[in-house]
Each structure stands twice: as structure tokens, then as C-alpha cells.
A and B are shown apart, each in its own frame.
Chain A
Amino acid sequence: MLIKRSQETNKIVKKGIQYKMRAKAFYVIMIPYLIMMLCVKGFPFAWGLYISFTNFTGFNIDKLKMVGINNYLRVFTDNEAISSIGRTFGISLIVVPLSICICLLLSLLLYANIKGIGVFRTIYYLPSIIPSIAVVTMWKGMFVKEGGLLNMVSKLFGGQSINWLGYDYARKALIIMLLWGAGSGILTNLAAMKAVPNDLYEAAEIEGAGYFTKLFKITLPLISNMIYMNLVTGIIAMLQLFGQPVLLTATAGAGLTALPIRPIYTYLVHVYQQIFVNLRFGYGLAMVWVIFTVIMLLTIVVDKTSKYWVNNEMN
């Protein structure tokens, strides 16, 4: 009896020590995380919010003046800012749903488990991981007016040659280029599809369900959390669209501060212009906070609607 009890106490003591040891290790590991996260991300983030209420231009840090919400008011009266956010939304409204649909279609095609799936999967996925600078260089070759592949094809069918990178078509060109990377979600989609229990399909088949019934009643609802994820990440990625337009149609300026042509002058391009060219740090940061708030609100809205269309029972 005594021996047994002492063994149990031993166990408890040991467990206690272990718990303490583990907690200690946890704090040791977390110290660099917490410190660096606060210093490198948290503090600049909050400081940026403060700066967005000042007239900071890079040289006047000693005599900063609080300008209240003036910077924010300016965002809503700045024609460039308003029209560029409209353009960004316009592009996102086309690219996000289309790439989700294309991604789903590709995943469904791959799910059929035919021979050569590895090759197909690689070809669909690769464009989404090629560095964007290389993507744009390749697509410029496609779009170029003289000798671009798209115009070669259109000439073959007797069409006019189009100035893809000109004023009228630049937006379409950008959208086509962005859709090339639509395969980025196929790996996760496929994994989710494979996780759908097979007996669901078998049961449906016994009841005589066809391909599309199964697709809309079983597959899509059960991978709806993946679609939700693609939607949220797609919105965030598209609203911060920046490098591709600059690269595709850089006119004046060099490198990242070059100006793309009007139809694809997106909101973030305007932000970078304010910060890196005009050195209007206060105003630029106010613009950052405006689009940040918009993105957060959109995410919340999507999240709120998700209970009507996202199935969470799988997890």
C-alpha cells in the first residue's frame, strides 16, 4: 500500500517537474519570438498608425505636426486614390472568382486519377510559383504587338493585330496574365477532394446520382472550406496588386517606382508612388491603413457569410 502510494506520488512529482520543465522551455523558446515580433512587426505597425496622423515626410521627424485625420480625408478626396481603388476592385472582381473557378475545374480534372496526372499537375501548378518578374517577361513576349504570340494567332485567323499593352487592352492583358497563375490552389483542393469519404459517392451512386449531382451535392460542399480559403487569400492578394502592373507596362521612371499606364494603375501603385517618389510618408501610411481596413472588413464579411455556404463538419 505504502509502496504503491509512493510510486503514485513519484509519478505526480515527476509529472509536476516535467510540466515545469516544459513550461520553462516554452518561455525560453518564446522569448526571441515575442521580442522580435514586437520590435520588427508590432511596433512599426503601431508607429505607422501614429505617423499616418502626422505630416511626416522623412526629414521632419524632430518637428512632427499632428494633422488629425487630414491625411485620411485626403485619401477620399484624392481623385487618383479613389479611381485607383475602383480599378483595383474592378480587376479583383474578375480575377478572384475566375481563378477560383479555373482552379476548381483543374482540380476536378486531376481528381479523375487518370494516367499522367503528375505531369498535368506540374504543368498547372508551375505558373503560380514562377517569380513574377519572370512571368511578366514571358508574357510581355506573348503580348508584344509585333511578333507577340497572341497577335500571331489572331493574324492567322485573319484578325487585327491588337496593341495588348496599350491603353485599351492593358487591363485584359493583366487579367489574362494573372489567371495564368490560377493553379496555385490545386494541390490543396486535390488533397481536400481526396479526403472526401468514398462511401458517400457509393451511396449516391446507388441512389442513381449522376456526375453533376455528386459534384454539387457532395464534392463542392465538402471542399467548401478550401474555396473559402482561396476566396480570402485571393481577395487579399488582388487588393494589394502592385508589381505586375508596374512590370507589364512601365512607362516613366525606373524599377519599382515606374508608372504603369492608367488602366492598370492600382491602389498600391499609388501608395508606393506617395512613399518612394513623393516621400509623403504620413499620407502614404494613411492610404495603407485605409486599404488595410477595407481588406479586414471584406474578410469579416466573407467570414460572416461563410456559415451559409462553408461546411465545417469535415474537421
Chain B
Amino acid sequence: MKSTSKNKTLINTILYALNALFCVIFIVPLYFAIVNSFNSLYGAPVVIPKHFEYINYYYAVTLIPFMRYLKNSIFIVGTALGLSFVFNFMYGYAFARLPAKGSKPLFNLTLMQMMIPSFAIQIPQYIFFSQLGVKDTLWIWVLNGIAGTPFIIFMYRQYLYQIPKEIEDAAIIDGCNCFNIIYHVFLPVSKTIIAVAMFYEFIAHWGDYMTPFMYLTEKNYPLSIALFGLKYVLPQNPSLQMTPVLNAAALLLSIPVFIVFILCQKQLVEGVVTGSVKG
């Protein structure tokens, strides 16, 4: 008996040690970027912070039209997320709860789309739309939003499919139509999976540089592409390498991602299975 408990502490210690080791490895690049985003503009990179230069963050936001980029980002991500929520949920609901002729082949088509790598759609789509003169508008996000995200549709479908039938009976007896049922019955029970889907969509659109690069001009660039290959130039000293400011900008771009992850963490841990276990 004694030996097993001893064994257990030993195993736990080893596990902690390994976890700690990997955590250090995984956190180091982030730590180094954070520390150096506060570093002096004129100093060499440091491992242990000596002083905190908040001015780097000020430069990161003011030397480029940061607020404009941020506004564009919010517009794009907002459009994409809003449409994704409304349409993908409806599509998932229709596949899961509305038996009709043609449902199965359409669903198979959705599954097939999941297998197609994104560039194989994106590139021809860009060439096609550039021929039509579609440029510099949010339309491409609107159209793609209505066209649905196959993976998200699949996730909603899997989740809504396994909800017991009885839950909507009361609503049907009350004479609710399908859209009322969605609103009063299925939306409230799907909070977890909606959070997971929104999280995935947010990550995909917030960091996406490909679509904005193809369809937008500099004026309408969101943050993700605006920071791409960006060089900060200090008016007083144009030749100065502003690595700390770049680090600050990169961290500012990452902060929303951290926040969204922490907000959705609980739902992600619970709901992540639904979409990933092939059904």
C-alpha cells in the first residue's frame, strides 16, 4: 500500500516536471516577444526586462493608421461571424431536423466540400471575381458567408441531430413554425456548440490575410494583412530598426485571440468533440 502511494507521488512529480518543461518551451517565444515589446528602442533584445517602455505600444498604434485597420478588421470579422452564425446554424438545423427529399445528397455535397483544400476554391474564386470587377468591397465575405462553411455546418448538424425529439414536441403542439422552433427551442440548447463554432470562425477570419490581400486595397486592409511585411518608421530616425514596436503590434493583434479563447475555453473543452468525431 505504501509503495503504491509512493509510486503515485513519483509519477505525479515526473508528470509535473514534464509538463513544466514543455510549458517553458511553448511559452518562451511568447515571453520573449512580450518582454521585448517593452524593451528600449535603442537597446539590444533582453531576456529579463530592465525597464518598461510603454511608448512602443503608443508607436505601434500611432505610426500607422492602426485604428483604421482595426475598424476594417472589426467590420470584416463582424460580417463574417454574423452571417456564419445565422446561415450555418440554419443549414445545420435543416440537415439535422428537417427530413426531406434531397437532404442526403446535399449533405454529402457538404461533406465533400470539407475535403477540398481552401486554396483550390480561393484562387479560382479570386480570378473569377476579379474578372467580374468585384474589388474592394465586403461583398465577397457576404457571399461566402451565405455559401456557408462546410465544417461549421457539419458541426451544427452533428450537435442538433443528437438532441431528443421530445424537446420540440411541445412547441409543435403550440403551433410553432420551424423558425419559431429554432428560436425558442434549438438556439437555447445549442449555446455550447455555437460558442465553439464562433470561436473557430473568429480565429479563421481574424488572422486571415489571404482574402483581404486578394480583394481589398490598402485603404480597406484589416489588421492581419496591414501588419504583413510592415516596417515601422520613426520620423525622427528613419533608419532605426523598430523591432520592439513590431513585437508590440504582433501582441496587440493576438490579444483579441487570447480573450476569445479564455471566454470560450469552457465551451471548447466540452463541445469540441461534436465536430471532430466523424459521424
Query: Chain A residues in contact with chain B, CB under 8 A?
Result: 18-19, 21-23, 25-27, 29-30, 32-34, 36-37, 39-41, 43-45, 47-49, 51, 58, 61, 105-106, 109-110, 112, 114, 116, 118-127, 129-134, 137-139, 141-142, 144, 146-149, 152, 180, 183, 187-188, 190-192, 195, 225-226, 229, 236, 239-240, 242-243, 247, 250, 254-256, 258, 268, 271, 275, 281, 284-285, 288-289, 292, 295-296, 299, 315
Contacts and interface: CB of A to CB of B under 8 A. Distances in A.
B119 A255 contact: no
Interface of B is mostly: helix
20 contacts: A22-B97, A23-B101, A26-B99, A33-B106, A43-B128, A109-B19, A114-B16, A118-B265, A120-B22, A122-B261, A124-B22, A129-B261, A134-B207, A134-B227, A141-B45, A144-B243, A147-B45, A191-B276, A239-B117, A292-B116
Nearest to A229: B276
Interface stretch (B23-31, B62-70, B186-194): B23-31
B94 A141 contact: no
Interface in B231-273: 243, 246-247, 249-251, 253-254, 257-258, 261-262, 265, 268-269, 272-273
A124 B26 contact: yes
B249 A131 contact: no
Given A112-B15, A123-B26, A37 B147 contact: yes
Contacts of B26: 123-124, 126-127, 180, 183
Contacts, number: 255
B32 interface: yes
Contact of B246 (A119, A122, A124, A137): A137
Which bracket fits the contact residues of B? Answer: 35 or more
A258 B229 contact: yes
A275 B122 CA distance: 12
Given A47-B124, A51-B127, A229-B276, A36 B178 contact: no
